[in-house]
Amino acid sequence: MSRFKKFVKGMSLTQQLMSVVLVSLAFFIFFLLVFIFGNINTLVSEQLFTSIDGTQLRVINNFKNSLNKDDIFIGVDPNVIHIIYATDDTKEIITNAKTTLDPELDRIFRENLIVQTSDLVRYDSSETDLSVVYQIRRIDVSNFIVSFVPNSYMDQFKLALVNGVVNILLVIVGILFLLLMIWVGYLIHSLKQIEIYINKYRKGENVELKMDRNDEVGELARAIVGMNKEIRRQEQLKEEMVQNISHDLKTPIATIKSYGESIKDGVYPYETLEKSVDVIIEHANRLEKKVHSLLLLNRMGYLIEQDKGNDKTEMKDVIEKVLLSLKVIKPQIKLKTDLTSCSYYGSEEPWRVVIENILDNALRYAKSEITIDLKADHCIIYNDGPNIPEERIEQIFKPYEKGSGGQFGLGLAIVRRVLTAYHYTIRIKNLNMGVQFIIEKEKSDSKITKDELATL
């Protein structure tokens, strides 16, 4: 069995499809031929009885019209032998047989005439030594007609029937095989197009894939094209992010360096020593925050994996701690809260990062008000800032997305990573005036895998 699996795996898709097609056709032909040959005698008998019945009625009609013996069999099928037996004292026999009747057949016919009680009886002896089918019909009180076909005609009829069936099968199989070949070629051509596209894309060539198919192959092609476009977009965003991060890090580093060198030389760039050192500390804090965000994005997965699975965090305490440190940033923004004491799954530090990043985003865009509604089944953070375009709602949670202010923020990417790992979801809802960030428990309790977490 293992050798067979290995052999099949070594075959190309074309060879596999052709093998399946040929095997299916072979089984179809085999069973059809077995059915035909197994029932051929029945089929032949039914057809012959139909033929015998029509020509027999014509002979009876001619006989009743008192035609002479030579005209009784005019216009009837010459392949059917008719014998008219008279049961009266004359014992006369009228037949269209050109040769002497087989004595054994004549004996059997006469015996059946004696015991016949109905007007019409059919006998199928095709599978006996007689190898013949015949029909006995009463003409009147003293006359019966026996009609049958000779063995040679039966053999010819069977041969013609088999040849006809075989020829029809060959035509049908040929047409099916041609159609399947066209379908296989069309399928292989589409897969080759996808292969060429992937190989050229891997080499960095500018290539397009256009496939006018609505089946699974077409869906696969469109998925690959969409994936490649997303990869290119992500690569471009990463390059831009690296440039922006480099620029953001370069500015505080250059400031700290130049201020440090000036102070060393006894020069105070910002009026006094204390103010100059404050500038250095400010830029150091900015630098620390940027580096912290980058490290936190990578460390968050590790921190979450260290949870034992039974940790719970009192979310009311977390939100109150975050508000205590953030409300002084923009005192003109009103912070309204409706907090219910409740526990969420997960450790406190990742949850604090989630709330901090969402509120930091809210403070950046809010005009005058931020509200926080905390319940056991949801946490809604609202700000009265501008709506987020619908096409950007999912994009802003990706790590390398540029915000409306032209900055590369990692805050919401960290939020998505933490919530997904803790089996919570976050969605954004645009209102007439403002935006809501809604955190809810996942409906499914299935845990995310490490590989899935790494892709977030």
Q: Which H helix or E strand runs over 8? A: helix 2-9
Q: What is the β-pairing status of strands 369-374 and 334-339?
A: parallel
Backbone angles phi, psi at 379, to 5 degrees: -135, 120
Q: What is the pTM of this model?
A: 0.43
Q: Residues 422-427: what's their mean pLDDT?
A: 90
pLDDT of 428 = 93
CB 178 within 8 A of CB 186: no
Query: What value does the mean pLDDT take over residues 320-337?
Result: 85
Helix/strand/coil for 383: strand
- Work out the pLDDT band at 376, boundaries 50, 70, 90: very high
* Strand segments (E) across 52-204: 81-86, 93-95, 120-125, 132-138, 143-148
Q: Which letter does DSSP use for residue 402 in this model? A: B
Q: Is the pLDDT of residue 181 over 90?
A: no
pLDDT tens-digit readout, 130-158: 667 888 898 888 888 898 887 667 677 77
What is the Cα gyration radius of the chain?
Answer: 47
Give the three-state DSSP class for 431. Answer: strand
pLDDT at 339 over 70: yes
323 strand-pairing partners: none
- Which residue type occupies 116? Q
Most confident of 108-117, 118-127, 150-159, 289-298: 108-117
Distance of CA 345 to the CA centre of its chain: 36
The amino acid at 136: I
CA–CA separation, 46 and 440 (whole Å): 75
Q: Could you read off the pLDDT of 228-284 as tens digits, one per residue?
A: 888 887 787 677 667 666 766 777 788 888 888 888 888 878 778 888 888 888 878
Complete domains list, the chain, with CATH: 10-197 (no CATH), 216-286 (1.10.287), 307-455 (3.30.565.10)
41 band by pLDDT with thresholds 50, 70 and 90 = low
Average pLDDT of span 194-202: 85
CB-neighbour burial class of residue 379 (10 A; exposed 0-12, middle 13-18, buried 19+)? buried
The dihedral built from the CA positions of residue 45, 48, 53 and 56, taken in this order, carries a sign that is negative
The per-residue pLDDT for range 49-86, each reduced to its tens digit, is: 888 888 888 888 888 887 677 788 887 888 888 888 88
